[in-house]
Amino acid sequence: MGSIDTPKNPENGSRTLPPATDAYATYDGDKNGIDGMPARATEMTLPVESEAIKKRRASMLPLEVGTRVLCRWRDCKYHPVKVIERRKMQFGGSNEYEYYVHYTEFNRRLDEWVKLEQLDLDSVETVVDEKVEDKVTSLKMTRHQKRKIDETHVEGHEELDAASLREHEEFTKVKNIATIELGRYEIETWYFSPFPPEYNDCLRLYFCEFCLNFMKRKEQLQRHMKKCDLKHPPGDEIYRSGTLSMFEVDGKKNKVYGQNLCYLAKLFLDHKTLYYDVDLFLFYILCECDDRGCHMVGYFSKEKHSEESYNLACILTLPPYQRKGYGKFLIAFWVVILGRYDVACC
């Protein structure tokens, strides 16, 4: 089950898009660069020491997963982070890496890829706390599974059974899509979502806000919007009050929509299980409607034939609409739907 928590961070990571259609042509996918950052005073005034410092820094690289270090965040201040993952730079030298970090002071949703320049190598804690690492790992894997993974670390995962591999993948997951465009909003994502492999290389996805098809490029979306017939979620409108409408979507009748919704929702829910088998679910989509169409605010899903009929599978208010009472509305609506099912059972 998901959460309707609103972000603790004062900025919810979304902003309204300006009307110009090519507004993001200059986006470079990296808002956290440190261009213009002054060089360290020690490097300018103490050239001999600078050589020593350079050597010491070079000896640390590439940083190991698990390293704790200070990282320059978007507020231009340094915050403690832990390196979760690393990968070679696409166009860098053979030993140039970027790092996926978790800010230990912040929610996991702010984890991100950073460049080496953002890290203060003088703050590196050289001893990785392996005992803590073990504890974290053991939360996800048994000792036996952990040993098997260690043994096959370099060779690959051929010797892992499916369950161990799944757990390993779970453990090493990093956020893949950084932002999405949905209707008039550009939204920063919070968590990993298992989009199909062909979307692995894009930081930004463009969603049709009505059918929830997603695309790699803005031009694809613009072409799609000229053809897309929908102006509201597929399914039946089961509630309307003022500008608010609720649509009931049967996952069996609208399989692609259900799957697209799950991909989208996982970007904002940490522990959601993705339901590829959406046939078994009903989705209730809350929309704000105007003359351009019905714009999704949030949703909840419910298993059709769960033995526990009160089972609320998932609930989400999209970030641009949070802190407006929609989460409470969704829960209240779910209670009403539950009442309908209870009556139907009697």
Residue 228 binds Zn ion (CB under 5 A)? yes
Stretch that binds Zn ion, among 129-137, 185-193, 204-212, 315-323 (CB under 5 A): 204-212
Q: Per the omega criterion (within 30 degrees of 0), is the bond before 62 cis?
A: yes
| Backbone dihedral angles phi then psi of residue 116, each to the nearest 5 degrees | -55, -35
C-alpha dist (Å) from residue 157 to 71, 151, 162: 32, 10, 10
Residue 220 binds Zn ion (CB under 5 A)? no
Stretch that binds Zn ion, among 15-23, 38-46, 117-125, 208-216 (CB under 5 A): 208-216
Distance CA 233, CA 241 (A): 17
> Which burial class, exposed, middle or buried, applies to 249 when counting CB atoms under 10 A from its CB (0-12, 13-18, 19+)?
buried
Stretch that binds Zn ion, among 145-153, 221-229, 261-269, 281-289 (CB under 5 A): 221-229
Task: Name which of 77 and 227 has its Cβ closer to Zn ion.
Answer: 227
Task: Name which of 207 and 321 has its Cβ closer to Zn ion.
Answer: 207
Task: Name which of 228 and 338 has its Cβ closer to Zn ion.
Answer: 228
What is the smallest separation between the CB atom of 291 and Zn ion, expressed in angstroms? 18
Q: What strands lie across the sheet with 204-207, from one edge to the other?
A: 14-16, 185-188, 179-182, 204-207, 214-215
> Chain-centre distance of CA 241, in angstroms?
32
Task: Name which of 71 and 212 has its Cβ closer to Zn ion.
Answer: 212
**Which residues, in sequence order, are bridge partners of residue 179?**
188, 204
**Which residues, in sequence order, are bridge partners of residue 245?**
240, 287
Task: Name which of 53 and 228 has its Cβ closer to Zn ion.
Answer: 228
What is the smallest separation between the CB atom of 230 and Zn ion, expressed in angstroms? 5
Position among 208, 246, 265, 296 found at the interface with Zn ion (CB under 5 A): 208
Position among 101, 211, 287, 296 found at the interface with Zn ion (CB under 5 A): 211
Residue at 41: amino acid letter: A
Stretch that binds Zn ion, among 162-170, 223-231, 244-252, 319-327 (CB under 5 A): 223-231
Stretch that binds Zn ion, among 38-46, 114-122, 146-154, 201-209 (CB under 5 A): 201-209
Q: Alpha-carbon torsion 115, 174, 299, 278, what sign? A: positive
Stretch that binds Zn ion, among 45-53, 79-87, 202-210, 302-310 (CB under 5 A): 202-210
What is the smallest separation between the CB atom of 207 and Zn ion, expressed in angstroms? 9
What is the smallest separation between the CB atom of 24 and Zn ion, expressed in angstroms? 19
Among residues 325, 259, 279, 326, the alpha carbon closest in space to that of 299 is found at 326
Task: Name which of 128 and 228 has its Cβ closer to Zn ion.
Answer: 228
Q: Are 233 and 296 in contact (CB under 8 A)?
A: yes
Task: Name which of 208 and 262 has its Cβ closer to Zn ion.
Answer: 208
Task: Name which of 113 and 210 has its Cβ closer to Zn ion.
Answer: 210
Distance CA 164, CA 166 (A): 5
* Pair type for strands 112-115 and 179-182: unpaired
Residue 121 binds Zn ion (CB under 5 A)? no
* Residues in contact with Zn ion by the rule CB under 5 A: 208, 210-211, 228
